Structure 1
Amino acid sequence: MAAHRTADLVEELRRRIVDGEIAPGQKLPSESELITAHDVSRTVVREAITRLRADGLVRTRRGAGSYALTPPVESGGAWPARPVRTLADRRALLELRTALESEAAALAADRRTTAQIGAMRDALDSFDAAADAPAAALEHDFAFHRGVAEASGNPFVLDLIDAAGPAMIAMPRHRLEVSRGSGADAGAVGHEHAAVLAAITAGDVRAAAAAMRTHLVGSLRRLTGE
């Protein structure tokens, strides 16, 4: 019976995270709230949270509760062709993105339009303004990367980015431990984005590719804490 209750609670919380009802960076209901709402024991709640942590959906901070992470990229017959659930999966996806998006940035530097530059700049302004809203920041982060793909002029690159969707933007676990404005790594993201846009705007193909690579390698470092 306890195992059944645990499985039910895991699936309910998983659904809420994947559907965005509990957004990346948002705190889950407290242990006491989950016990009351679902009429389960403390053991069931703790086991459910442990399973969600193992799936990469939840980060628990001692004394502060549990927080939702970026939900996994599920396979829907498009790209990526396999679910992206674990830290190792996200590392592999970021390695692939580094190759793909560095070339996309280079192409964008050569092919971008004034309107596309404006759209990318708007995405970065919105990202910077979403300092205290991790879910919104994730959406604007994706909008910038999608803007680069669109500016590349290669429809296949854009199709791949669209197929992955915002879930391809990993939520670094320590973004939940400090506010974006106070974290040194958070400021780095803004500088990296700006460097990519500056190179694309200047039409510097090599600098654009290098800046995107620097950004995504930095994203990998922030994700893994290495």
Structure 2
Amino acid sequence: MPPVNTLGDDTTALAAPPPRARRPRGLVPEIVDTLAADMREGRLQTGDKLPTESELVARFEVSRTVVREAISRLQASGLVETRHGIGTFVMAPPEQSNFRIAPEDFATVADVVSLLELRISLESEAASLAAQRREEGHLQNMAAALAAFEASIAESSDAVPSDFQFHMEVARATGNRHFADLMTYLGTMIIPRTRINTATSAPEGRLAYRRRVHGEHQKIYQAISARDADAARLAMRTHLANSRERLRRAQPN
């Protein structure tokens, strides 16, 4: 007998969100973590349709913008897929492997810095390969991610989906599926501000912080567009090293 879909008739079967006492900047991660737990613990199963946007707004008592950003993060992590005009559905869990980076591995600043160190070596080489192998379609996708990031700055969004998308497009431009597969596995967890509030606590201020990140992304894009492998490697290394240092400076001693 197939598993019973608990959505629709019995939405109370899903995990209740935490109490309302919380910081506004924690709303998106709260929704992501709660829905991911529903999937992990079987309350949402592969093929199930997520509640509608309106239902999630009511359930979590948040705005539509917050819900949309949470869904974007779940999409980027490969947990759900949206079929336009139909809805958003739970995807099959990724194949298990011995290598695992879980949300609990991001409990401290030191944990996030450790992941940035991994990304520095991985993504710097990816940017170099992307500069050598990219095609026009890759550049168009990167440019679209940059435009979305810039639009998010204007809307005061945290720009996490477009930030992740830019790095994903660089990985895809390598022509080596393993780079993209690993980025898909890591998902938006690789963006430090999904776990640590770097933007708000950054010395230069939240808006300047995002503009600086955008400028660093543009330099990576320009080097890849120019097919300058060395410049692309350096631009990516500089960007991620700056993220690491910003993170360290933004946290209290």
- Matched residue of 1:165: which SS? helix
Match of 1:26 in 2: none
Match of 1:90 in 2: 112
Match of 2:173 in 1: 151
Change over 3 Å in CA distance of 1:16–1:201 after alignment to 2? closer
Match of 1:221 in 2: 245
154, 157, 173: which one pairs with 1:134? 157
1: distance between equivalents of 2:188 and 2:214? Answer: 18
Deviation at 1:221, TM superposition (A): 1.6
- The one-letter code of the counterpart of 1:205 is A
Does the 8 A contact of 1:112 with 1:151 survive in 2?
A: yes
Deviation at 1:202, TM superposition (A): 0.3
2: distance between equivalents of 1:21 and 1:89? Answer: 18
- The one-letter code of the counterpart of 1:216 is L
Cα offsets for 1:72-120 (capped at 9, x unmatched) = x9xx845544523211110000000000000000000000010110000
Q: Does 1:185 align with 2:209?
A: yes
Provide TM-score, normalisation by structure 1: 0.64
197, 200, 218: which one pairs with 1:194? 218
Structure 1 gap ranges (5+):
1-7, 23-69
Q: Does 1:103 align with 2:125?
A: yes
2: distance between equivalents of 1:191 and 1:148? Answer: 16
Identical-residue share of aligned pairs (%): 35
Identify which range, 125-134 or 205-214, moves more after superposition.
125-134
Match of 2:200 in 1: 176
Deviation at 1:224, TM superposition (A): 1.9
Structure 2 gap ranges (5+):
1-16, 35-72, 78-93
Change over 3 Å in CA distance of 1:84–1:205 after alignment to 2? same
Change over 3 Å in CA distance of 1:86–1:182 after alignment to 2? closer
Aligned residues: CA RMSD: 3.3
Match of 1:120 in 2: 142
Does the 8 A contact of 1:146 with 1:158 survive in 2?
A: yes
Provide TM-score, normalisation by structure 2: 0.57
Runs (4+) of structure 1 moved beyond 6 Å?
A: 12-16
Does the 8 A contact of 1:108 with 1:148 survive in 2?
A: yes
- Matched residue of 2:106: which SS? coil
Does the 8 A contact of 1:185 with 1:222 survive in 2?
A: no
2: distance between equivalents of 1:107 and 1:16? Answer: 34
- Matched residue of 1:203: which SS? coil
Match of 2:29 in 1: 17
Does the 8 A contact of 2:200 with 2:206 survive in 1?
A: no
1: distance between equivalents of 2:197 and 2:206? Answer: 15
Does the 8 A contact of 1:80 with 1:164 survive in 2?
A: no
